[in-house]
Amino acid sequence: EAEVAQSPRYKITEKSQAVAFWCDPISGHATLYWYRQILGQGPELLVQFQDESVVDDSQLPKDRFSAERLKGVDSTLKIQPAELGDSAMYLCASSPRRAGGYNEQFFGPGTRLTVL
Amino acid sequence: QKEVEQNSGPLSVPEGAIASLNCTYSDRGSQSFFWYRQYSGKSPELIMSIYSNGDKEDGRFTAQLNKASQYVSLLIRDSQPSDSATYLCAVGNAGNNRKLIWGLGTSLAVNP
Percent of chain A topping pLDDT 90 = 84
Per-residue pLDDT at A102: 72
Which residue of B41, B93, B98 is in closest CB contact with A95? B98
Per-residue pLDDT at A39: 87
Q: Which amino acid is at B110?
A: V
What DSSP letter does each residue of B25-87 carry, written as one string? Answer: ES-TT--EEEEEEE-TTS--EEEEEE-SSEEEEETTEEEEEETTTTEEEEEESS--GGG-EEE
What's the CA gap between B27 and B29, in Å, rounded? 5
Residue to substitute from A34, A39, A49, A105, interface B, most B β-carbons within 10 A? A105
Q: Measured between CB atoms, does A53 come within 8 Å of chain B?
A: no
Residue B70, number of CB atoms within 10 A of its CB:
15
Question: Judging by beta carbons within 10 Å of its beta carbon (0-12, 13-18, 19+), is residue A70 exposed, middle or buried?
Answer: exposed
Contact A102 B42 (CB under 8 A): no
Per-residue pLDDT at B8: 83
Chain B residues within an 8 Å CB radius of A44: 102
**Confidence band of A100 (pLDDT split at 50, 70, 90):** low
Q: Closest by alpha carbon to A78, among A44, A49, A42, A47?
A: A47
Query: pLDDT tens across A37-85, in order?
Result: 998 889 999 999 999 999 999 999 999 999 999 888 999 999 999 999 9
Mean pLDDT along residues A85-106 = 87
Q: Closest by alpha carbon to B89, among B38, B52, B43?
A: B38
Query: pLDDT tens across B44-99, in order?
Result: 999 999 999 999 999 999 999 999 999 999 999 999 999 999 999 999 987 767 78
Output the CA–CA distances (angstroms, integers) from residue B69 to A8, A25, B53, B79, in the order listed: 43, 35, 11, 27
Chain A residues within an 8 Å CB radius of B93: 101
- Residue A1 pLDDT > 70, yes or no? no
Query: pLDDT tens across A22-34, in order?
Result: 999 999 999 999 9
Is residue A23 a contact partner of residue A47, using CB atoms and an 8 Å limit? no
Contact A45 B99 (CB under 8 A): yes
Query: pLDDT tens across B1-55, in order?
Result: 779 999 888 999 999 999 999 999 999 989 899 999 999 999 999 999 999 999 9
Q: Measured between CB atoms, does A104 come within 8 Å of chain B?
A: yes
Q: Measured between CB atoms, does A1 come within 8 Å of chain B?
A: no
C-alpha radius of gyration, chain B, whole number: 13
Residue of A nearest to B99 (CA): A103
